[in-house]
Amino acid sequence: MPHPEALSGTAWRGTVLAGLGVLTFSMSFPATAFAMRGFDPYLVAVGRASVAAAAALVFLLATRAPLLPPRRLLGSYLLIVAGVVIGFPLFSGLALDAGASASHAAVVIGLLPAATAACAAVRGGERPRPLFWATCALGAAAITAFTLSRGGGHVTGADLLLVGALVSAAVGYTEGGRLAREIPGSRVISHALVVAAPLTVPVTVALALATESRPDAVSVAGFAYVGLFSMFLGFIPWYAGLAAGGIARAGQTQLAQPLLTLVWAWLLMGERFGPVTVVAAVAVLACVAASQRARS
């Protein structure tokens, strides 16, 4: 049986690795907004996966790893593809295109840690305490109040798209964290991108030919970031952290992501957000933190 100190050290390592992933992901919304200044939203959503697939292929060849995952794990990889390779980029990009600001999107996605923990509970067969679900419900109520206040009393189409992004990411994170317990996180995301490539690459080419692009330095930099960092490099420490520290525990590092995104949106995009946004972000953080403690 592993020594308790060894277990504690592994958990701490998982938290640090997951934190690196969160730091990378926190720039995703501003970078996506920059990319869409010069490229079609659908092209950004799908094209980022093609850019990441090229990087993943280079990585697999350089490390002499198998180019395809074991057939027995194909179902899990398809869930990762549906969740974080296609679902989250598509839904979040369309939400930004539909009018959601990067700061608004960050607050709504603030429920992602709780959603990921809930998915981990379902997939792992765990039975969270009633307090866990109560705090999740409070967090959902805070998000609903925020979206209604920003949407003139009703939920907007952009908000529904962000919910789709939330669910997609939770599924992809959970499945990737599970696989990373037996396979290195770098290989998990690389194989997921390669599995998706027969779909993402042809669609990217078709969209590039069919849509109008007005690339400049800012939009190209944004596109490059979401392709190389948000879609590939960030997942390497993220999945490794979930595997080492536990999906629910290490996933708590995402508590910092909404606030980090608000800072990036302010520094890079000049977005201004009032006290309602800040209060909503803090309320979500409090509810999610309570849900993680309740779950343990």
Q: What is the mean pLDDT of residues 117-123?
A: 79
Number of Cα atoms under 13 Å in the Cβ half of residue 124: 19
Question: Is 65 inside any structural domain?
Answer: yes
Summarised one tens digit per residue, pLDDT across range 45-72 is 999 999 999 999 999 999 999 999 999 9
Number of Cα atoms under 13 Å in the Cβ half of residue 88: 25
Label residue 141 by pLDDT band (50, 70, 90).
confident
Question: Is 5 inside any structural domain?
Answer: no
Domain count, the chain: 1
Label residue 85 by pLDDT band (50, 70, 90).
very high
Question: Is 255 inside any structural domain?
Answer: yes
Residues 6+ apart with CB under 8 A from 263: none
Question: Is 102 inside any structural domain?
Answer: yes
Read off the DSSP letter of residue 67.
S
Label residue 35 by pLDDT band (50, 70, 90).
very high
CA-wise closest residue to 106 among 146, 138, 148, 152: 146
The tokens of 140 are what? 């959902």
Helix (H) or strand (E) holding 252: none
Question: Is 202 inside any structural domain?
Answer: yes
Question: Is 36 inside any structural domain?
Answer: yes
pLDDT above 80 (res 125): no
Alpha carbon of 256 to those of 110, 154, 263: distances in Å? 9, 28, 11
Question: Is 7 inside any structural domain?
Answer: no
Question: Is 95 inside any structural domain?
Answer: yes
CA-wise closest residue to 231 among 100, 35, 47: 47
pTM of the model: 0.83
Owning domain of residue 135: 12-295
Alpha carbon of 41 to those of 10, 48, 164, 192: distances in Å? 40, 11, 16, 22
pLDDT above 70 (res 126): no
Read off the DSSP letter of residue 256.
G
